[in-house]
Amino acid sequence: MSELNDIALKVIGNGKGILAADESTGTMTKRLDSVNVESSSKNRLIFRETLFSSESMKNCIGGVILYDETIKQSGSSGKKIPLLISDSNAVPGIKVDTGAKVLAGSSDEKITEGLDGLRERLKEYYKLGARFTKWRAVYVISKEYPSKLSIISNAHALARYAALAQESGMVPIVEPEVLMDGSHTAEDCYQKTSEVIKRCFEELILNKVDLKGIILKPNMILPGSKCEQKISSEDIAKFTVKCLKDSVPSEVPGIAFLSGGQTEIEATENLNSINKINNTNFVMTYSYGRALQQSALKFWSKNIEDTKGTQATFNHRANMCSLASQGKWSKDIEKQNS
Ligand code: 5MM
């Protein structure tokens, strides 16, 4: 199983992180609608190929999470997308869940689906070049949520998925996302996230998942987006590192945070603060969707043929995230380079 550990470290080690470009067609359509670009298969490919052929892919991006549509596409030169990614020495990955659906028994919550036929789909993705996979579970915070039902059933699904991914020779990214929506405090987020993560590891262990061959993709510990009590980046880092130190077994090679609706700068600053105080053995890096793509998407939407300009915007963000993953980012560096 040390091969899986090697893949995991290739994806998240050496100051690199993950580009989460696995938006399903519905989500990508929302993103493109927001910048007034038609969400055609061709346009989705142009934007993604522009990012995947950027210079920063070589030094800042260790892995790219793709969506089913993209992993089967070829770029403008005729090269298959997974090959375009591996040519930059990054690892192609694939989202394999089929989405979060209403949880029977607790209809305000979600359960992630996709286990039926997963073994066969994994084999196909491996043949297409994927070497890691992703499955995202979502949890809401309120007085009564996340419910025990949501915590137990999502952890069970995540663990069964992870076991199947490893059986197919791929590293599973285990993504339990406790959402930022709501007026809860950072303390509430800390407590609920700890409970969610601990349960995930109980199930992963029960399903005999090799913990050295996974990547955990959690949320940072943040106050809810409607909470009036804001906290500093240093406090976010303290809560986050403590939560992970207490809930994640030490065999896990690394943690790649989702950005979860933070701005690009917030996600970069908070990751940097985390790495400044990271006293664990875990690599702590990024697996950002919006916080890596937002500015590039905005720039690209003004002229979808301006590949160079879009890439420069993306390269800047990727470079800043890479510095943050090493605790070397600062507001001055951000300004000097923008
Ligand atoms: C890229 O977005 C992924 C979700 O797509 P769908 O909702 O369309 O399935 C998402 O899982 C993403 O990989 C993570 O949430 C990280 O993205 P952010 O934008 O939170 O960093």
Strand spans (E) along the chain: 17-20, 61-66, 91-95, 100-103, 106-112, 132-139, 171-178, 215-216, 254-257, 283-288
Is 217 tagged catalytic?
yes
Tokens describing residue 13: 């080690």
Is 266 tagged catalytic?
no
Which is it for strands 100-103 and 106-112: parallel, antiparallel or unpaired?
A: antiparallel
| pLDDT tens digits, one per residue of 325-334 | 999 999 999 9
Tokens describing residue 207: 């399903």
Q: Is 260 in the pocket of ligand 1 (CB under 6 A)?
A: yes
User: At residue 1, does pLDDT exceed 60?
Assistant: no
Catalytic residue among 175, 264, 269, 334: 175
Is 0.95 topped by the overall pTM? Answer: yes
Q: Is 27 in the pocket of ligand 1 (CB under 6 A)?
A: yes
Enumerate the H helices of 39-78 as residue ranges: 41-52, 56-59, 68-71
Instruction: Report CA(303)–ligand 1 centroid distance (Å).
Output: 25
The pLDDT-based confidence of 2 (bands split at 50, 70, 90) is confident
- Residue matched to tokens 């969506």: 67
User: By C-alpha distance, which of 66, 67, 60 is closest to 17?
Assistant: 60
Atom 4 of ligand 1: nearest residue by CA position = 23
| pLDDT tens digits, one per residue of 192-229 | 999 999 999 999 999 999 999 999 999 999 999 999 99
- Angle, helices 41-52/290-302, rounded to nearest 10 degrees: 110
pLDDT at site 109: 98
Share of the chain above pLDDT 70, in %: 100
Which atom of ligand 1 is least distant from the CA of 291? 21
- Asked whether 64 and 92 are in contact (CB, 8 A), the reply is yes
Instruction: Report CA(248)–ligand 1 centroid distance (Å).
Output: 22
Which atom of ligand 1 is least distant from the CA of 292? 21
Q: Mean pLDDT, to the nearest integer, of 277-284?
A: 98
- Asked whether 194 and 162 are in contact (CB, 8 A), the reply is no
Ligand 1 mutation target, pool 28, 61, 64, 258, most atoms within 8 A of CB: 258
- Asked whether 55 and 308 are in contact (CB, 8 A), the reply is no
| pLDDT tens digits, one per residue of 78-134 | 999 999 999 999 999 999 999 999 999 999 999 999 999 999 999 999 999 999 999
Q: Mean pLDDT, to the nearest integer, of 55-78?
A: 98
pLDDT at site 4: 98
**Class at the top of the CATH hierarchy for domain 2-337:** alpha beta
pLDDT at site 337: 81
- Asked whether 5 and 213 are in contact (CB, 8 A), the reply is yes
